[in-house]
Amino acid sequence: YEYFLGKFAASEGKLGGEFYTPKCIVNLIAEMIEPYKGKIYDPCCGSGGMFVQSLKFVQ
């Protein structure tokens, strides 16, 4: 899923108002904010990558 989303974002996504954060950047952000059990807030949810990586970090 993320592979195709990345390909779409690279080719046409920005023209259509779609933006994609690469997985390596999401990993870095999750490590920097150090999520913990409780609440996670992602105001620009998009594909949900931040939620998934935050869950993996907590586990």
Annotated domain spans of the chain? 21-59
Q: How far apart are CA 16 and CA 13, in angstroms?
A: 5
Residue-wise pLDDT for 25-49, tens only, equals 888 888 887 767 677 777 677 777 7
Average pLDDT, the chain: 73
Contact 27, 16 (CB under 8 A): no
pTM (2 d.p.): 0.54
